[in-house]
Structures are given as C-alpha cells and as structure tokens.
Amino acid sequence: MTPAEIRDEILDILSDIAPDEDLSGLDDGKSFREQLELDSMDFLDIVMELRKRHRVQIPEEDYGHLASMSSTVTYLEPKMRDIVAA
C-alpha cells in the first residue's frame, strides 16, 4: 500500500470507530487525541482493526508511533508495503 492508501485506510477505520467525528479537517501532524474524542479503548480498536483487516501486528511498545496520522502512516508503511489495497 502507498502512504495515501494507508492514510485512506486509517480514515476508514476512524470513521467506523468514531462515526460522529468530522474527519475532513484532520491535521496529519497533530495527535489524534488533540483533534478527536478518542479514548484508550478507541485507540485499541484502531490497532485491532489493522490486525483484523490486514494482519498487521503492532506491539504495545510501538503504540506511541500511532499518535498522529503522519506518524501512523510512517510507522505502517514498511509493514503494509506488500499489502494490496482492496
């Protein structure tokens, strides 16, 4: 997957987890928690959705890499490079 495809996938997961949030003005450089009303369970849901949809394993010690859209895409790009977008 390309970085743009990974970003779209994260947006899709976020829209499933927080359907009432407006994601159109999301600032990729700001943390998700600053911009969205996500709690720790929502964050775990993101990790679980990535595992379920793409079999991407994210160890707990790497959760900090998923703080913002840009850091998430950067972290996931090597892990999802060989995944074909659906």
Model pTM above 0.85: yes
Q: Is residue 85 assigned to a domain?
A: no
CATH number at residue 65: 1.10.1200.10
Q: Is residue 86 assigned to a domain?
A: no
CB distance 54 to 60 below 8 Å: no
pLDDT digits (tens, 9 = 90+) for 24-40: 999 999 999 899 988 88
pLDDT digits (tens, 9 = 90+) for 39-73: 889 999 999 999 999 999 999 999 999 999 999 99
Q: Is residue 51 assigned to a domain?
A: yes
**What is the per-residue DSSP string for 53-64?**
HH-----GGGGG
| pLDDT value at 2 more than 80 | yes
Q: How many domains does the chain have?
A: 1
pLDDT of residue 40: 87
Q: Which of 50, 75, 49, 73 is nearest to 61 (CA)?
A: 75
Domain residues for the domain of 49 are: 3-20+28-80
List CB contacts of 67: < 8 A, sequence separation 6 or more: 31, 32, 33
What is the identity of the amino acid at 72? T
